A and B are shown apart, each in its own frame.
Chain A
Amino acid sequence: MSEPRFIGDASVLPDHGFGPRSTTWWGVSGFMAIEGAGFALAFAAYFFLMAQERQWPASAPAPDLLWSSATLILLLVSELPNIWVKRAAEREDLRAVRHGLIVMSLIVLPIFATRALEFDRLNIGWDRNAYGSITWALLLMHTIHLITDWVDTLVLTALMHTHHGAEGRRFVDTSENALYWHFIVASWLLVYGVIYWLPRTHG
């Protein structure tokens, strides 16, 4: 084998980068695309079933607006610390990231409470009819995402409080975790609209 021709030098390159520069961003975006496709298809199923019924919501009053709107407000408010922690991660401010992640870990707790009340006030059982089934399915799907990201955030919070927290890659993880929270909030805007407002505006 002949002597290789060397051109350039990779050792001067950084060992991490944010956004689409990082592979982590692509991984997280890939999962968001999968889950986004899941939500889109569940909405399609909702509209498909709605088109089969003369009356919507079928055999039930529309689900209560109070606690779902409270969830919406809490999720929107949570975006403030979320954006703040994302920015802190991108300027690699470990102190701010540690504080921000603690806030993000705690801010979900009241959302769990309002979410539990939402299930209680759907005004229909999942086994009553197809309307009930798809309504429960949408709310459950969103809740699973909420729990998953919360556990993610807890683990990340713990990790950032160890000596691993100072590594560049961990700031990338924090930034992408915040990106995923955007997905949780954005998907709720849609799920909320479908579950709670469609039955009110539809015929």
Chain B
Amino acid sequence: MSRTDGPDFTGPALHEMLARTWSDAPGLWGWITTVDHKRVGRRYIVTAFVFLGLGGILALLMRLQLATPDSGLISADRYNQIFSMHGTTMMFLFAVPVMEAMAIYLIPLMMGTRQIAFPRLNAFSYWIYLFGGCFLWIAFVLNIGPEAGWFSYVPLAGPEYSPGKRTDVWAQLITFTEVAALAGAIELITTILKQRAPGMSLNRMPLFAWSILVTSFMIIFAMPAVMLASSFLISDRLVGTQFYNPTEGGDALLWQHLFWFFGHPEVYIIFIPAVGFVSQITETFTRREVFGYPLMVLAVVSIGLMAFGLWVHHMFATGLPRVGYSFYTAASMMIALPGGVQIFCWIASIWSGRPRWETPLLWVIAFIITFVMGGLTGVMVASVPLDLQLHDSYFVVAHFHYVLIGGAVFPLLGAVTYWFPKFTGRMMAEPLGKWNVALAFIAFHLTFFPMHITGLLGMPRRVYTYPAGAGWDTLNLLSSIGAFVFAASLLLFIGNAVTSLRNGRMAGANPWDAASLEWLPSSPPPTYNFAHIPRVESRTPLWDGEPAVIPGLRTDKRELLVTTGVDALPDIRDASAPPNGWPLFAAIATTIMFTGSIFTPWAVVWGAALMAPPLILWFWPHDPLEPKPEQGDE
């Protein structure tokens, strides 16, 4: 008879048993084969920050070039690659992955479960992401980096105007990152809907979980658009299809429609998780449930839906029927409403709560101010006449950096500070953190505020240099100075994180006195997350005292509690897959196929054959690459 946790099996003996069952193999092999969502999530986060650093270096190179007029530092061709790489890296290798990465680490803990759903798919997702990022950057170093911008418009990106392999590399990077993101979305949806702690009905779920649930659904419906678009592009370039060739019945605008059907939801895929961070931080540091919980949920869901109805506002300059202009202007303005509802709910929470001005909350304040400014310029460019003036100018560059850095990176840095003790067991240094917020905030506005004016004065984006005397010189110099100070503030943040890893003050399980379940286990949590699965009776379970638990999961094999979708009633004891090496080999085979296919279409055929064995063996129970065969199986 297998032994389950319960009143007669608890305390140190249980911990020891669970630690044995849920541990990875020792050493490098364990590192490679791990499926622990915390290890995978941690490496996902670190990798995303490495790409942030690389994308940031490119930004500094551009700012160096633009600091003075008529600069000869970087050639036009190199500059094209640099801004394309900057956008591609930041959007596909940093912003989306880092949000999913945080969710991969946090969601299972927040839901009160021992492991993410489909843990091997999760490991696969990470490897594909890592290999995709390396593929892009190796190509760039070899002078075959993308050159047609992060949205790679045809005909510029088509076979005629972008010969060579540069755009093929871009198109395949898309495939890599979208496969990784889609896999993550499925794991997160399943974890949120099926693995919540008993009692955590949907209306008791932390707002971060709502954010991730909506984001994951958006990924599922948005990302296929860009995969389809980039597959059409690469086949136009490699096998002579005519999707985007207007002389043979194709249409360049088909690209724009497909791209932006993904691209617009994409910005909300980055923003909505950030909204979740903000809500969690606000809850903890105001010591109250976020004001207007049902409104907050409805706001996030409606943003998720509306985000699919505004993609055409990126295409105002292409010429549209009048009704199209009106519809997409109205839709673009309408999405400001749920955004505004959220802002007011956070302000009301701070107003009516007992705010503690710790660093994470300061990042939230920096976010609110910056994001509101970015939101206002967003409403401005939703208006067609203004958009036609400002399209492709630095005004737009200013706008989207306000909403992406202000709207997502500031909350992210707040979130890293907030959850750092959970990730590492130590606090980040203070008051350095507070100075860091101030420096980043000032530097950010110094960099990007002048760009509004350079844009209004007519400076187009994506130009590698500009003539003196157009009135843009001082503004550009200010932006460049700001960019270097902003980079210094990010370095300060990373430096703080790295030194705190070793020297930070020790954190207990719940150093901020927060309310959600991830703060229940020790910091960092044990491999199995929870010794007993907690029961939830409110939206703020840890503020109700020590939660009751439900006993009865097996301890000799990896077992999870599956609950019902809406009410989270205990339903099934489900097995969770142990560590395995095949996801890595499947990812290697996939990488060979994706890379091969930019040279020959036959790579799709032999690549699929190469992928089949690792995929099959990954699903096969108890194969030789399972480093720790389980004893408990029948």
Residues of chain A having any CB pair with chain B under 8 Å:
2-17, 20-23, 26-27, 30-31, 33-35, 37-38, 41-42, 44-45, 48-49, 52-53, 58, 126-134, 136-137, 151, 155, 159, 164, 167, 169
Is A11 within 8 A of B552, CB to CB?
yes
Question: Measured between alpha carbons, how far is A127 from B198 in the docked complex, in Å?
Answer: 56
Instruction: Decide yes or no whether B224 CB sits under 8 A from chain A.
Output: yes
Is A132 within 8 A of B242, CB to CB?
yes
Distance (whole angstroms) from the CB of B158 to the closest CB of chain A: 13
Instruction: Decide yes or no whether B117 CB sits under 8 A from chain A.
Output: yes
Is A13 within 8 A of B571, CB to CB?
yes
Listed A/B pairs (14) with beta-carbon separation below 8 Å? A6-B532, A8-B570, A9-B550, A9-B551, A9-B552, A10-B552, A13-B571, A15-B574, A23-B195, A27-B117, A30-B185, A34-B220, A127-B239, A164-B621
Is B243 within 8 A of A133, CB to CB?
yes
Known: A20-B565, A26-B189, A133-B235. A41 touches B261 (CB 8 A): yes
Which 6 A-B residue pairs are closest in the complex by CB-CB distance? A10-B552, A11-B552, A30-B186, A130-B249, A133-B241, A127-B240
Question: Using a Cβ–Cβ cut-off of 8 Å, how many residues does chain B contribute to the interface with A?
Answer: 67
Is A30 within 8 A of B190, CB to CB?
yes
Within 8 Å by CB of A37, from B224, B535, B552, lies B224
Which residues does chain A contribute within 8 Å of B554, judged by CB atoms? 11
Which residues does chain B contribute within 8 Å of A49, judged by CB atoms? 243, 249-251, 254
- Closest Cβ neighbor of B195 among chain A residues: A23
Is A4 within 8 A of B10, CB to CB?
yes
Which residues does chain A contribute within 8 Å of B232, judged by CB atoms? 45, 133, 137
Binary A-proximity of B43-59 (CB < 8 A = 1, otherwise 0)? 00000000000000000
Question: Measured between alpha carbons, how far is A182 from B533 in the docked complex, in Å?
Answer: 36
Question: Measured between alpha carbons, how far is A10 from B535 in the docked complex, in Å?
Answer: 12
Is A7 within 8 A of B245, CB to CB?
no
Is B551 within 8 A of A6, CB to CB?
yes
Question: Measured between alpha carbons, how far is A78 from B228 in the docked complex, in Å?
Answer: 29
Within 8 Å by CB of A10, from B221, B261, B551, lies B551
Which of B125-133, B431-439, B612-620 lies at the binding interface? B612-620
Is B250 within 8 A of A133, CB to CB?
yes
Question: Measured between alpha carbons, how far is A137 from B249 in the docked complex, in Å?
Answer: 15
Which residues does chain B contribute within 8 Å of A129, judged by CB atoms? 242, 248-250
Known: A26-B194, A49-B254. A130 touches B185 (CB 8 A): no
Question: Measured between alpha carbons, how far is A137 from B261 in the docked complex, in Å?
Answer: 19
Q: From DSSP, what is the main secondary structure of chain A's interface residues?
A: helix
Which residues does chain B contribute within 8 Å of A159, judged by CB atoms? 620-621
Which residues does chain A contribute within 8 Å of B224, judged by CB atoms? 34-35, 37-38, 41
Instruction: Decide yes or no whether B258 CB sits under 8 A from chain A.
Output: yes
Within 8 Å by CB of B551, from A11, A33, A52, A130, lies A11
Within 8 Å by CB of A13, from B220, B228, B261, B573, lies B573
Which residues does chain B contribute within 8 Å of A169, judged by CB atoms? 575
Question: Measured between alpha carbons, how far is A44 from B254 in the docked complex, in Å?
Answer: 10
Is B573 within 8 A of A41, CB to CB?
no
Which residues does chain A contribute within 8 Å of B240, judged by CB atoms? 126-127
Question: Measured between alpha carbons, how far is A48 from B255 in the docked complex, in Å?
Answer: 11
Is A8 within 8 A of B550, CB to CB?
yes
Distance (whole angstroms) from the CB of A30 to the closest CB of chain B: 4
Distance (whole angstroms) from the CB of B105 to the closest CB of chain A: 19
Which residues does chain B contribute within 8 Å of A14, judged by CB atoms? 572-573
Within 8 Å by CB of B574, from A11, A16, A34, A155, lies A16
In B159-211, the 8 Å CB interface with A consists of 182, 185-186, 189-190, 193-195, 198
- Closest Cβ neighbor of A42 among chain B residues: B228
Instruction: Decide yes or no whether B481 CB sits under 8 A from chain A.
Output: no
Instruction: Decide yes or no whether B549 CB sits under 8 A from chain A.
Output: yes
Which residues does chain B contribute within 8 Å of A13, judged by CB atoms? 552, 561, 570-573
Question: Measured between alpha carbons, how far is A10 from B562 in the docked complex, in Å?
Answer: 10
Which residues does chain A contribute within 8 Å of B330, judged by CB atoms? none
Question: Measured between alpha carbons, how far is A23 from B573 in the docked complex, in Å?
Answer: 11
Known: A10-B533, A21-B571, A126-B239. A33 touches B250 (CB 8 A): no
Known: A13-B573, A26-B193. A126 touches B261 (CB 8 A): no
Is B228 within 8 A of A38, CB to CB?
yes
Is A23 within 8 A of B190, CB to CB?
yes
Which residues does chain B contribute within 8 Å of A44, judged by CB atoms? 257
Instruction: Decide yes or no whether B6 CB sits under 8 A from chain A.
Output: yes
Known: A9-B551, A11-B4. A45 touches B190 (CB 8 A): no
Question: Measured between alpha carbons, how far is A41 from B262 in the docked complex, in Å?
Answer: 11
Which residues does chain A contribute within 8 Å of B241, judged by CB atoms? 126-127, 130, 132-133, 136-137
Within 8 Å by CB of B198, from A8, A22, A133, lies A8
Which residues does chain B contribute within 8 Å of A16, judged by CB atoms? 572, 574
Which residues does chain A contribute within 8 Å of B18, judged by CB atoms? none
Which residues does chain A contribute within 8 Å of B242, judged by CB atoms? 127-130, 132-133
Question: Measured between alpha carbons, how far is A130 from B464 in the docked complex, in Å?
Answer: 35
Is B221 within 8 A of A37, CB to CB?
yes
Which residues does chain A contribute within 8 Å of B235, judged by CB atoms? 126, 133, 137
Distance (whole angstroms) from the CB of B231 to the closest CB of chain A: 8
Is B562 within 8 A of A23, CB to CB?
yes
**Residue among A9, A23, A126 with max Cβ neighbours from chain B (10 Å):** A23
Is A151 within 8 A of B612, CB to CB?
yes
Question: Measured between alpha carbons, how far is A8 from B552 in the docked complex, in Å?
Answer: 8
Distance (whole angstroms) from the CB of A1 to the closest CB of chain B: 8
Distance (whole angstroms) from the CB of A9 to the closest CB of chain B: 4
Question: Measured between alpha carbons, how far is A23 from B248 in the docked complex, in Å?
Answer: 46
In B542-572, the 8 Å CB interface with A consists of 546, 548-554, 561-562, 564-565, 570-572
**Residue among A31, A33, A128 with max Cβ neighbours from chain B (10 Å):** A33
- Closest Cβ neighbor of B231 among chain A residues: A137
Within 8 Å by CB of B251, from A10, A12, A41, A48, lies A48
Instruction: Decide yes or no whether B225 CB sits under 8 A from chain A.
Output: yes
Distance (whole angstroms) from the CB of A60 to the closest CB of chain B: 11
Instruction: Decide yes or no whether B118 CB sits under 8 A from chain A.
Output: yes
Binary A-proximity of B583-613 (CB < 8 A = 1, otherwise 0)? 0000000000000000000000000000010
Is A27 within 8 A of B186, CB to CB?
yes
Is A30 within 8 A of B220, CB to CB?
yes
**Residue among A35, A48, A130 with max Cβ neighbours from chain B (10 Å):** A130
Within 8 Å by CB of B118, from A27, A126, A128, lies A27
Question: Measured between alpha carbons, how far is A37 from B570 in the docked complex, in Å?
Answer: 32
Instruction: Decide yes or no whether B321 CB sits under 8 A from chain A.
Output: no
Instruction: Decide yes or no whether B227 CB sits under 8 A from chain A.
Output: yes
Instruction: Decide yes or no whether B319 CB sits under 8 A from chain A.
Output: no
Question: Measured between alpha carbons, how far is A137 from B241 in the docked complex, in Å?
Answer: 10
Instruction: Decide yes or no whether B7 CB sits under 8 A from chain A.
Output: yes
